[in-house]
Structure 1
Amino acid sequence: MTPGPPAVAATRPDGPPITTLVCDYGGVLTNPLAETYAVFSDSTGIPVEDLQTAFARATRRYGVSPMAELEIGAIAEDELVRRVLSELDTDPGDVLRGLPFGEVWFRGRRTNEELTAFLRTVRAAGHRVGLLTNNVREWEPRWRAALPVAELFDTVVDSSREGVRKPDPEIYRRLVARLGADPATVLFLDDLEENCVAARVQGMRAIRFDTTDQAVRDVGHLMGLPALVNEPSGGTS
């Protein structure tokens, strides 16, 4: 990764200065998951409710979510497709038309350009930026092509390469170790509350992402970027 500018301390109300922002990928640096599901449904002809039911049935059958297994590299993408579509009695070749699952999935995935621009602003202010993502090894070329990874991030921690995923405490420990940071100086942004809770347990500050405007406002407030704060911060935790 290309090193960012030297960290500049930002005062936060309840602890030491925040010097690093760490973001999630899916649902934060992309459009919401529900939109991706909807486009996948349109592309395959599988109703969203049926697809979600198939994932749930596969999870019960194998005792673990197939997506969770995929995100730690325990199974390959083809096995996820087999597990899920077999619950629908559907031929993967008919549904995916010979394409990889990820290619069809990424038709409904868009980069959050506004938040990406905000990360550039955070770095320009002298802070470090990291990425902590539950992701899929087969999808790495796709998501990296959609983001200026080397430009934006000082550290990338990807579950599919770590063999462990959020909210497991171990992936947060690895993140902090690679940052070489005191957890209390790290601010974490994720769209899932369970992932935020896990970050707080490790000593980080965490904000749950709801909308881009809310995230920019709340992160800007805590990191001492008043020019980005248009109204009093709310929703931080």
Structure 2
Amino acid sequence: MDGRARRGWGLPGTGPRGLGGRARGRAVIEAVVTDFGGVLTTPLTQAFAAIQNEAGIPLDALGRALGALAERHGVNPLFELETGRLTESEFMEGLRGALRDQLGRKIEIHRFGERYFHHLQPNQELIDYMRGLRERGYRMALLTNNVREWEPLWRAMLPVDEIFELVVDSAFVGMRKPEPGIYELTLKRLGLPAPACLFLDDVELNCSAAAALGMSAVHFRHNDQAVAEVEHRLAEGGRPRPGSDQLSEPSRSQR
């Protein structure tokens, strides 16, 4: 990480309690809401590609299979999986059948979740940065599109409850990014207005949805770029409102 991106990492006077006066016309940012997969981990596409290679599934065949399922049921099965309306086993059963139709042969993908997370690694640099933001006084939340059965797997990858006071998991709330409702639920549980929150995600559409509600959004591309942009947005916000400069106690994060 270059020197510009490193500036402000937990240094005295750079958190919400140490910044100078509030920037005129800009809301104070009190909370940082981050995505999980692709931000606090290595890219998701790498993990999916590894599983496809292991199972001998061409990428175009997977796309056609998912498209056929969506056409058959009138809804994207991945969206149903991420909102908890499909179980992992139901999703995999449908996918295996659709792939068999596409490839003309039986496809077996056993223990998909475990294999997927085997190929997904923590982005330790960003995890450490998130911990540093909490130490500087920012409230921290995690907003993830995920799978209900995978909760133990992804939670094992990082110290969730040490860093984040709130977790909103799509599979447990029946909504997913970029639906406005899941952002609104996150804001409600934080008890903050949208302009008081910064949102970080590797999917541009998700960032656009957050920005449309008034959140300050940063599209994650790589560590240096993301940290530099987050620091710039935080510096623009200035000092938090009186009474908001105390760290909230870590707690069992909510879904």
**Hey, what does 2:71 align to over in structure 1?**
60
1:37 aligned to 2:48?
Answer: yes
Over the aligned positions, Cα root-mean-square deviation in angstroms equals 2.0
CA distance in 1, matches of 2:214, 2:138: 19
Report the number of matched residues. 216
Letter in 1 for 2:147: V
User: Is the Cα contact below 8 Å between 1:40 and 1:107 reproduced in 2?
Assistant: no
Residues 1:82 and 1:14: Cα distance change in structure 2 (over 3 Å): farther
**Hey, what does 1:167 align to over in structure 2?**
178
Identical amino acids, percent of aligned pairs? 42
Q: Aligned with 2:42: secondary structure? A: coil
**Hey, what does 2:90 align to over in structure 1?**
79
Report the alpha carbon displacement of residue 43 of structure 1 after superposing the two structures with TM. Answer: 2.3
1:102 aligned to 2:113?
Answer: yes
Residues 1:215 and 1:45: Cα distance change in structure 2 (over 3 Å): same
Q: Deviations over 1:90-127 (max 9, x none)?
A: 545xx22xx32211222221111111011011112111
Q: Aligned with 2:27: secondary structure? A: strand
CA distance in 1, matches of 2:68, 2:208: 27
1:150 aligned to 2:161?
Answer: yes
Report the alpha carbon displacement of residue 221 of structure 1 after superposing the two structures with TM. Answer: 1.4
Q: Deviations over 1:7-58 (max 9, x none)?
A: 6486567511111110011111111122011111122221233223322222
Partner residue of 1:190 out of 163, 181, 201 = 201
Structure 1: which 4+ aligned runs deviate by more than 6 Å?
A: none
The structure with more radius of gyration: 2
Q: Deviations over 1:122-180 (max 9, x none)?
A: 11211111100111100000000111001110110011110111111111111001111
CA distance in 2, matches of 1:177, 1:184: 13
User: Which structure would you say has the larger RCO, counting Cα contacts within 8 Å and 6 or more residues apart?
Assistant: 2
Q: Aligned with 2:161: secondary structure? A: helix
User: Is the Cα contact below 8 Å between 1:38 and 1:108 reproduced in 2?
Assistant: no
User: Is the Cα contact below 8 Å between 2:31 and 2:141 reproduced in 1?
Assistant: yes
So what's the TM-score if we normalise by structure 1?
A: 0.85
Q: Deviations over 1:49-108 (max 9, x none)?
A: 32233222222222211111011110111111122221121545xx22xx3221122222
Q: Aligned with 2:28: secondary structure? A: strand
CA distance in 2, matches of 1:86, 1:116: 38
